[in-house]
C-alpha cells in the first residue's frame, strides 16, 4: 500500500522513518516535509491546509493510509473530509479532536465520566475571571480555551501576574479568539509524564510511556517550549500507574466517545501529572506528541505501518505491540533565542558523523535543504535520539552524538532524563 505523512516536524520525520521500514508500504509520501524528506520519501510539496489538493493527491496515488502529524488540520476537520470521500486517515474527526481544540470541552468530558483531573472553572469574561482569583490562592493555572500552539497555559505565582495573564488573554488577545474563553484550574504538584495510546474507535492500546521536558533551561527552569527532549519509557509510569491510566482515563474516555457517536481512530495523547502513583490529566491531545514520539518509536519492534492500519480497521483488540528492552533518550537542538525570537538559515555542520550509527537516530524538525547545504528553518531544529540498555546508557549515547553537531546559536538542555534517573537510583 501507499502512505502519506502530513506535517514537517521531528514527530513527522520519526513517523515517516518508521513507515519507511514497514514491509506493508510500497510508496511513501511526506508533505510539506523538511530537510530530511527526500532521504526517505517523495515530497509532493502540498500545503497542509489545502485539504482539496491533499484529497486529489491521495486519490490519484492510491494512498491507503494518510497519517496526520499536527493538531490544527484535525481540529479543522481533515478527517471528516477524508471519510466523506471514503478515504482512510489516521486521526480523529473534528468532534474527537476537540479534546485538544477546546480545554473547556475536554474538562467537561472528564467531569462527566469522573476522569481524574485538576478542579476547574470556566470563564467567558475578564470581570468574572478576575473576581475568581480574589477567592482562591496562587499559583493560578490559567488556560486559554482554544489552540494556542502549545503556549496557551500561564502559571501565575501571585495575584499581579494572574491579573496580567487575564488582561493579556481577554483584553490584549495575545492568543486571539482562543483566549476569550478561559479555564482556571487547581495547581497540581507531582511529576509529569505522557502516555500515547492508539484508539481504533472501540479499543485503546497504550504505547510505552514517555516524559517530555518542556522548560527551556536545565532543571525545568525558564519559559515553556514545544519540548526540549524526551525519554521513553518514563520510570515514574510503572506498571501500576499505567494500569490506572488505562482503567481510570483511557477506557472511560473511549466509552464516552462511543456513547456520543464519536468515531475516534488515531492516537490519544494523555499529558499526565503523577501524584503518589495516581495519574491526573493535565491535557489531552488528539495526535502524537513531539518530542515524545521521537523517544517512543525507536523502541518499537512491531511493524508501524501494519499497526496504524489495524487501528483504522478497528482491529486493535487482537494486536500486541513488541518493544525493545531498554530506553531511548531524545535531545532537541534549538535555534539561538528559541522559544523567543530566533533567526533561520544557519548552516548545520557535523551530521555526516552520525550516518549509519547503530541505535542513534537524527530526526529533523526545522531544517531545509538548499544548494546541497542543510540550513536551520525553525525554533526546534534537530532531534538526536539514542537507544541504550539502561537509561544512563541512552542518555550518554545521545549526548555523545549531540556534541558532534553545531550551528550558530545552537542550544539544548544538558539534563534530559534527570527525573527518570532519580527514580531508578531510588
Ligand atoms: P498544557 O499545555 O496544558 O500541557 O500545559 C503546559 C504546562 O503547564 C504543563 O506541561 C504543566 O507543566 C503545566 N500545567 C498545566 N496544568 C497544570 C496544573 N493543573 N497544575 C500544574 N501544572 C500545570
Ligand atoms: N510534547 C508536548 C506536545 O506534543 O504537546
Q: How far apart are CA 235 and CA 421, in angstroms?
A: 8
Buried b (16+ CB within 10 A) or exposed e, 106-136: bbebbeeeebbbbebebbeebeebbebbeee
Instruction: Report how far ligand 1's centroid is from the alpha carbon of 180 (Å).
Output: 19
CA of 131 to the centre of ligand 2 (A): 32
* Close Cβ partners of 328 (under 8 Å, ≥ 6 residues apart): 231, 232, 295, 296, 298, 299, 385, 386, 387, 388, 394
* CB distance 271 to ligand 1 below 6 Å: yes
CATH T-level fold of 2-93: Rossmann fold (3.40.50)
pLDDT above 90 (res 43): yes
Query: Is the distance from the beta carbon of residue 201 to the nearest atom of ligand 1 less than 6 Å?
Result: no
Q: Which of 80, 403, 122, 134 is nearest to 264 (CA)?
A: 80
Q: How far is CA 295 from the centre of its chain?
A: 11
Which atom from ligand 2 is nearest to the alpha carbon of 212? 1
Q: How many A from CA of 47 to the centre of ligand 2?
A: 22
What is the per-residue pLDDT across 244-258, written as a single tens digit (0 to 9) for each?
A: 999 999 999 999 999
Structure-model confidence comparison of residues 178 and 292, the more confident one: 292
Distance 56 CA to ligand 2 centre (A): 30
Residues 6+ apart with CB under 8 A from 79: 68, 89, 91, 92, 93, 94, 97, 266
Per 3-state DSSP, the chain is made up of helix, strand and coil in percentages (nearest 5) of 35, 30, 35
- Counted residue by residue, the chain has a size of 426
Of the bound ligands, which one is closest to the alpha carbon of residue 282? 1
* Environment class of 353 (CB within 10 Å of its CB; exposed 0-12, middle 13-18, buried 19+): exposed
Q: State residue 425's pLDDT score.
A: 83
Q: What is the CA radius of gyration of the chain?
A: 21
C-alpha 219 chain-centroid distance: 21
Query: Which has more confidence, 149 or 136?
Result: 136
CA of 148 to the centre of ligand 2 (A): 12
Cβ-based neighbours of 203, under 8 Å, separated by 6 or more: 254, 314, 316, 317
CA 280 to ligand 1: nearest atom: 19
Average pLDDT over residues 154-177: 88
Contact, 395 vs 295, CB < 8 A?
Answer: no
Mean pLDDT value across residues 34-38: 97
Residue-level pLDDT at 179: 66
The whole-chain average pLDDT of the chain stands at 95
Residue of higher predicted confidence among 114 and 172? 114
Answer yes or no: CATH 3.10.400.10 is held by domain 125-180. no
In the predicted model, what is the mean pLDDT of residues 257-263? 95
Alpha carbons within 13 A on the beta-carbon side of 247: 7
CA dihedral of residues 399, 189, 193, 195 (deg, nearest 10): -170
Q: How far is the CA of 335 from the centre of ligand 1 (A)?
A: 24
Q: What value does the mean pLDDT take over residues 278-295? A: 97
Angle 183-184-188 from CA coordinates, rounded to 5°? 120
- The residues, any chain, with a CB within 8 Å of residue 372's CB and separated by 6 or more, are none
Q: What is the pLDDT of residue 24?
A: 94
Residue nearest to atom 3 of ligand 2 (CA): 289
Q: Is the CB of 214 under 6 A from ligand 1?
A: yes
Q: Band the pLDDT of 108: cuts 50, 70, 90.
A: very high
What is the per-residue pLDDT for 240? 97
Q: Which residues contact 213 (CB under 8 A, 6 or more apart)?
A: 220, 227, 228, 229, 230, 413, 415, 416
Distance 150 CA to ligand 1 centre (A): 10
Fold equal for 2-93 and 125-180: no
Under 8 Å between Cβ of 212 and 192: yes
Report the atom number in ligand 1 closest to the C-alpha of 103. Answer: 3
Decide: 286 and 91 in contact? Cβ < 8 Å.
yes
Burial 233-251 (b: 16+ CB within 10 A, else e): bbbbbeeebbebbbebbbb
pLDDT at residue 150, rounded to an integer? 67
Residue 25 and residue 307 in contact, taking contact as beta carbons nearer than 8 Å: no
- Ligand having the closest approach to the CA of 212: 2
Does the pLDDT of residue 178 top 80, yes or no?
A: no
Its pTM stands at: 0.96
Mean per-residue pLDDT, 318-340: 96
Ligand 1 contact via 71 beta carbon (within 6 Å): no
- Helices 391-402, 418-425: axis angle to 10 degrees equals 150
pLDDT at 188 over 70: yes
Cα(217) to ligand 1 centroid in Å equals 17
Ligand 2 centroid distance, CA of 101 (Å): 14
- Asked whether 185 lines ligand 1 (CB < 6 A), one says yes
C-beta 181 within 6 A of ligand 1: no
When comparing pLDDT for 141 and 174, which is higher?
141
Binned at pLDDT 50, 70 and 90, residue 148 comes out as confident
Residue among 215, 146, 136 at smallest CA distance from 176: 146
Tell me which ligand sits closest to the C-alpha of residue 186. Answer: 1
Positive or negative, the CA dihedral 151, 171, 74, 196 is positive
Which ligand 2 atom sits closest to the C-alpha of 288?
Answer: 4
Q: What is the pLDDT of residue 92?
A: 97
Among protein residues, the one whose CA lies closest to atom 4 of ligand 2 = 289
145 — pLDDT class (breaks 50, 70, 90): confident
pLDDT tens digits for range 196-235: 999 999 999 999 999 999 999 999 999 889 999 999 999 9
Q: How confident is the model at residue 356 (pLDDT cuts 50, 70, 90)?
A: confident
CA of 283 to the centre of ligand 2 (A): 10
Residue closest to 230 by CA, chosen among 46, 62, 363, 82? 363
Residue 149 has pLDDT above 80, yes or no: no
- Tell me what the mean pLDDT of segment 96-112 comes to: 94
Does ligand 1 come within 6 angstroms of the Cβ of 187? yes
Instruction: Please give the distance, rounded to the nearest whole angstrom, from the Cα atom of residue 298 to the centre of ligand 2.
Output: 17
In the structure, what pLDDT confidence band is assigned to residue 283 with cuts at 50, 70 and 90? very high
Instruction: Write the pLDDT tens digit of every residue in 366-416.
Output: 999 999 999 999 999 999 999 999 999 999 999 999 999 999 999 999 999
Q: Please give all residues whose beta carbon lies within 6 A of any atom in ligand 2, as ranges.
A: 150, 212, 227, 285, 289-290, 292
Residues linked to residue 230 through DSSP beta bridges, in sequence order: 212, 330
Q: Give domain limits for the chain.
A: 2-93, 125-180
64 pLDDT above the threshold of 80: yes
Hey, what's the torsion of the CAs at 267, 268, 271, 275, to 10 degrees? -120
Cβ–ligand 1 contact at 270 (below 6 Å): no
Amino acid at each position: 500500500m501507499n502512505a502519506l505523512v502530513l506535517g514537517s516536524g521531528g514527530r513527522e520525520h520519526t513517523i515517516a522513518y518508521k513507515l519507511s521500514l514497514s514491509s506493508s508500504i510500497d510508496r511513501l509520501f511526506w508533505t510539506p516535509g523538511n530537510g530530511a524528506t527526500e532521504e526517505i520519501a517523495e515530497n509532493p510539496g502540498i500545503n497542509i491546509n489545502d485539504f482539496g489538493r491533499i484529497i486529489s493527491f491521495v486519490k490519484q496515488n492510491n494512498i491507503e493510509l494518510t497519517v496526520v502529524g499536527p493538531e490544527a488540520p484535525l481540529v479543522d476537520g481533515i478527517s471528516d473530509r477524508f471519510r466523506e470521500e471514503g478515504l482512510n486517515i489516521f486521526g480523529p474527526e473534528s468532534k474527537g479532536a476537540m479534546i485538544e481544540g477546546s480545554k473547556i470541552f475536554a474538562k467537561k468530558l472528564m467531569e462527566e465520566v469522573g476522569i481524574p483531573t485538576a478542579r476547574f472553572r470556566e470563564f467567558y469574561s475578564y470581570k468574572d475571571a478576575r473576581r475568581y482569583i480574589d477567592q482562591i490562592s496562587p499559583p493560578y493555572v490559567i488556560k486559554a480555551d482554544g489552540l494556542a500552539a502549545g503556549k496557551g497555559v500561564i502559571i501565575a505565582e501571585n495575584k499581579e501576574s494572574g491579573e496580567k495573564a487575564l488582561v493579556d488573554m481577554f483584553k490584549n488577545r495575545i492568543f486571539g479568539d482562543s483566549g476569550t474563553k478561559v479555564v482556571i484550574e487547581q495547581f497540581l504538584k507531582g511529576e509529569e509524564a505522557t502516555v500515547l495510546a492508539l484508539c481504533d474507535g472501540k479499543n485503546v492500546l497504550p504505547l510505552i510511556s514517555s516524559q517530555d521536558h518542556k522548560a527551556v533551561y536545565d532543571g525545568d527552569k525558564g519559559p515553556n517550549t514545544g519540548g526540549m527532549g524526551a525519554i521513553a519509557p518514563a520510570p515514574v509510569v510503572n506498571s501500576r500507574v499505567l494500569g490506572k491510566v488505562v482503567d481510570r482515563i483511557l477506557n472511560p474516555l473511549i466509552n464516552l466517545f462511543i456513547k456520543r457517536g464519536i468515531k475516534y481512530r488515531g492516537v490519544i495523547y494523555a499529558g499526565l501529572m503523577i501524584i503518589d502513583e495516581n495519574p491526573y490529566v493535565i491535557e489531552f491531545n488528539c495526535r502524537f506528541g513531539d518530542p515524545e514520539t521521537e523517544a517512543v518509536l525507536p523502541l518499537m519492534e512491531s511493524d508501524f505501518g501494519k499497526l496504524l492500519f489495524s487501528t483504522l480497521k478497528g482491529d486493535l483488540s487482537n494486536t500486541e505491540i513488541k518493544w525493545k528492552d531498554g530506553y531511548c533518550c531524545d535531545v532537541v537542538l534549538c535555534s539561538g533565542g528559541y522559544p523567543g525570537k530566533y533567526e533561520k538559515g544557519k548552516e548545520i555542520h557535523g551530521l555526516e558523523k552520525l550516518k549509519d550509527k547503530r541505535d542513534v537516530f537524527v530526526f529533523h524538525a526545522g531544517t531545509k535543504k538548499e544548494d546541497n547545504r542543510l540550513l536551520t528553518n525553525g525554533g526546534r531544529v534537530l532531534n538526536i535520539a539514542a537507544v541504550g540498555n539502561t537509561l544512563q546508557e541512552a542518555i550518554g549515547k545521545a549526548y555523545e552524538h549531540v556534541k558532534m553537531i553545531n550551528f550558530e546559536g545552537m542550544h539544548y538542555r544538558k539534563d534530559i532524563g534527570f527525573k527518570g534517573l532519580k527514580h531508578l537510583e531510588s
